[in-house]
């Protein structure tokens, strides 16, 4: 873990959303970074901007009031995953993937407790357009500061340097944006970007 913290941006992937081991590793490394360094920590997460806002600002989106309202707590409502893969209760207001590991609750609490050091930023698009990987890359670089400890948490595909499959290529607006986010990060940051992928 000490060696990993020598990189300027650490991408940690998971082969399927919600894998317990991937989230546990992310959490362990986050806590290790807090203990071993006094640098600010920024987490770029595969989620839309407002998810990060809700975590950092103790808010949720109220459909009834059509605005963000203060909400400092939440409870684990069972089951976490509901019908049509939607999340129950307030959970979806923090993490977009309904099948996320429950350890994410602990991570959210930890981030909120250490807001003076940790910032989480949603870098994904608000729609399903597959130019989203280039969009994620641009968002990460916009907020990237090599003086910070920077993490990129996403699915293996987004963290990696792979090219889109033929199926995905049908949905791209700009044919030049045919790579996953990690490709653009590696091209820009070179050896400063570390890629950690999980496997079945």
- The three-state DSSP-derived secondary structure of 118-173 is EEEEECCCCCCCCCHHHHHHHHHHHHCCCCCEEEEECCHHHHCCCECCHHHHCCCC
Tell me: cis bond preceding 187? Omega within 30 of 0 counts. Answer: no
pLDDT recorded at residue 125: 80
- Host domain of residue 134: 4-56+101-196
Residue 97 Cα to chain centre, angstroms: 11
What is the rounded average pLDDT for all residues in the chain?
Answer: 87
* Average pLDDT rounded to a whole number, residues 74-100: 63
What is the distance between the alpha carbons of residues 12 and 33, in angstroms, rounded to a whole number?
14
Helix and strand counts by DSSP (H, E) for the chain: 7, 7
From residue 103, alpha-carbon distances to 25, 70, 83, 106 in Å are 11, 23, 21, 5
What is the distance between the alpha carbons of residues 150 and 45, in angstroms, rounded to a whole number?
11
Predicted TM-score of the model (pTM): 0.90
pLDDT recorded at residue 169: 75
Higher-confidence position of 27 and 125: 27
How many independent structural domains does the chain possess?
Answer: 1
Which residues fall within 8 angstroms of residue 184, CB to CB, at 6 or more apart? 133, 134, 137
Q: pLDDT digit string (tens) for 45-56?
A: 998 898 899 899
15 within a domain of the structure (yes/no): yes
pLDDT recorded at residue 14: 92
73 within a domain of the structure (yes/no): no
Q: Which one, of 112, 117, 105, lies nearest residue 151 by Cα? A: 117
- Strand runs labelled E in the chain: 9-12, 41-45, 59-62, 67-70, 118-122, 149-153, 193-196
96 within a domain of the structure (yes/no): no
* Average pLDDT rounded to a whole number, residues 24-44: 97
pLDDT recorded at residue 61: 81
pLDDT recorded at residue 16: 84
**Residue 4 has what DSSP assignment?**
G
pLDDT recorded at residue 62: 82
């Amino acid at each position: 873990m000490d060696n990993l913290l020598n990189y300027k941006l650490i991408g940690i992937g998971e082969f399927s959303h919600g894998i317990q081991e991937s989230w546990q590793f992310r959490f362990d490394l986050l806590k290790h970074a807090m203990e071993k360094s006094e640098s600010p920590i920024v987490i770029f997460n595969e989620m839309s901007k407002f998810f990060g806002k809700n975590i950092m600002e103790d808010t949720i989106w109220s459909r009834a009031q059509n605005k963000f309202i203060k909400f400092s707590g939440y409870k684990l409502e069972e089951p976490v995953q509901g019908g049509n893969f939607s999340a129950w209760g307030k959970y979806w207001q923090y993490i977009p993937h309904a099948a996320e590991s429950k350890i994410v609750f602990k991570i959210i609490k930890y981030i909120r407790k250490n807001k003076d050091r940790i910032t989480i930023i949603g870098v994904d698009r608000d729609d399903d357009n597959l130019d989203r990987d280039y969009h994620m890359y641009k968002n990460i670089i916009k907020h990237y500061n090599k003086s910070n400890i920077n993490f990129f948490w996403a699915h293996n595909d987004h963290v990696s340097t792979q090219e889109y499959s033929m199926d995905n290529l049908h949905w791209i607006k700009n044919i030049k944006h045919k790579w996953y986010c990690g490709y653009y990060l590696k091209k820009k940051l070179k050896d400063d970007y570390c890629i950690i992928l999980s496997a079945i």
